[in-house]
Structure 1
Amino acid sequence: MRRLARWHIWLGWLIGLPLVMWTVTGLVMVARPIETVRGAHLRADTSQIDKTLPAQFALPATLDLSGRTIERIEIAAPDGVPLVWATQADGSVQRYDARTGRALPRLSMREAQGIAVAGTTISGVQAGSPPPARFFEADDVPFDFRRPMPVWQVAMPDGTHVYVGADTARIEAVRTRWWRLFDFVWGLHIMDLETREDTSHPILILFAALGAIGSVIGCVLLFRRRKARIKVPRG
């Protein structure tokens, strides 16, 4: 038991900091609902937008998708205008006017700003003064987006970043300040601040195993000490 006690002390010095870090970061991550972290409460209600296609609707013959590896076709009519989204094997997306078959160009900055403002409930945007926006290519997106697709980053007055797909014309992500804090503590929690995606690497596994061993030894010592403190009445 003395040997176990010494091991427990040395393991405590070794795993004390990671255990505190896991506890604190876990507390931060559960402090708010995940929907709030993802900014779902900031998205505008689009249920009233007419997305119904005419009963006799058919794709025009001028819509030519030949020569491309298309994985998914989506058809919808936001604001009553029928559009086609063709997603290719490499993940790139091309929009088409479903009435004429004409390929639509990438969003302009003004269009992206309008989508970000109309698609969220974030206040503070003054009329005639759209929030600043910056374009990023698929291979150079900001760290808080981390998806290989061309996007417009629209910086809202409250510090939220609204990402609008340049090809999809949709809000692809809403990154609040709390999301960015959550993302940082998540990286600490899994001990991967570089990509914040690797949840199974040797350092994390090692400290998790040491933490489990230290906890088991502590439980053994706890029951042993409790038994030793029981006094036997004298006859």
Structure 2
Amino acid sequence: MQHHKLMRWHVWLGWLIGVPIILWTASGLLMVTQPIEEVRGEHLRRAAPALDAIRPVAPLLEGRRAKSLTLQQDRAGPFWVVAYADGGKRRADALTGALLPPVSAAQASAAATAARSEAVPIRSVTRFAGDAAPIDQRSGRPSWQVAFDDGARFYIDADTGELLSVRTRFWRLFDFMWGLHIMDLQTREDSSHPVLIGSAALALIGAILGFVLLFTRRRRRRGQ
């Protein structure tokens, strides 16, 4: 009798956890089909140029507190990336210290092209506010999306000109599968929520019941 009750519970749990297990397995299988370096588009990135030998001038902060100062360089030369304590960012000329205006579409295109390891035509350039960024750019920063003909997207910070992220076609599929894997298709970042925890707990209970049934079945056969 006990064996039949366990079997019944095991079947019902199987119906409940069957879909999550299929999603976990299928999404996990797809995510490991390519090396993570290729998923992140590291093969599309060009190494950052070496800094010129200069005597940089401290940037003008205009009364705002700076959290960090980073010296970088692009085709136009060296510049400061000023990260303010209140969360904002600006760039400044490293030779004069003067604050520079926000990055234009042409500058974003040039930055993305310079950051690519090979020449590919640009299909479109689109600006996004920090609170309205696409799902594949979740830094919270205002950005320029530079889309290339091969499907790659380079995101350039609209205030500093920094390369925020590189997104390949497979990365976007990978990101969707990651959302399925953690059962969070909205933000794709919350890996600790009741639906996922409950599904994992039911799957564990189902696996334990299946393991127990192996022994109860053997005892039942011996009794018969």
Q: Tell me the TM-score normalised to structure 1 length.
A: 0.86
Question: What percentage of residue pairs aligned between the two structures are identical?
Answer: 46
CA contact (8 A) 1:149 1:165 kept: yes
User: What residue is the counterpart of 1:59 in the other structure?
Assistant: 57
Give the counterpart letter for 1:35 in structure 2: E
CA contact (8 A) 1:122 1:156 kept: no
Q: 2: CA distance between counterparts of 1:199 and 1:176? A: 23
Helix, strand or coil at the partner of 2:86? coil
User: What residue is the counterpart of 2:183 in the other structure?
Assistant: 191
Alignment of 1:33-112 (within 5 A): 33-46=35-48, 49-54=49-54, 57-59=55-57, 63-79=59-75, 81-112=77-108
User: What residue is the counterpart of 2:13 in the other structure?
Assistant: 11
CA contact (8 A) 2:74 2:111 kept: no
CA contact (8 A) 1:50 1:80 kept: no
Offset of residue 222 of structure 1 = 2.1
Q: 2: CA distance between counterparts of 1:44 and 1:23? A: 35
**What is the CA RMSD across the aligned residues, in angstroms?**
2.2
User: What residue is the counterpart of 1:135 in the other structure?
Assistant: 127
Q: 1: CA distance between counterparts of 2:99 and 2:118? A: 32
User: What residue is the counterpart of 2:24 in the other structure?
Assistant: 22
Helix, strand or coil at the partner of 1:152? strand
1:87-140 deviation per Cα after TM superposition (whole angstroms, max 9, x unaligned):
012332111112111111112111111111121135542xxxx43201112221
- In structure 1, stretches of 5+ residues that fail to align are none
User: What residue is the counterpart of 1:207 in the other structure?
Assistant: 199
1:208-232 deviation per Cα after TM superposition (whole angstroms, max 9, x unaligned):
100000001111112443566679x
CA contact (8 A) 2:79 2:93 kept: yes
> By percentage of residues, which structure has more strand?
2
Give the counterpart letter for 2:152 in structure 1: T
Partner residue of 1:218 out of 195, 200, 210 = 210
Sort the Cα spacing of 1:217 and 1:82 in 2 relative to 1 into closer, same or farther, 3 A. Answer: same
Q: 1: CA distance between counterparts of 2:89 and 2:199? A: 42
Partner residue of 1:145 out of 137, 152, 155 = 137
CA contact (8 A) 1:116 1:162 kept: yes
1:146-175 deviation per Cα after TM superposition (whole angstroms, max 9, x unaligned):
222111101100111110111121211111
**Corresponding residue pairs, total:** 222
Q: 1: CA distance between counterparts of 2:79 and 2:147? A: 27
Q: 1: CA distance between counterparts of 2:106 and 2:76? A: 21
Sort the Cα spacing of 1:108 and 1:175 in 2 relative to 1 into closer, same or farther, 3 A. Answer: same
- In structure 2, stretches of 5+ residues that fail to align are none
Partner residue of 2:160 out of 164, 168, 183 = 168
Offset of residue 58 of structure 1 = 4.8
CA contact (8 A) 1:43 1:120 kept: yes
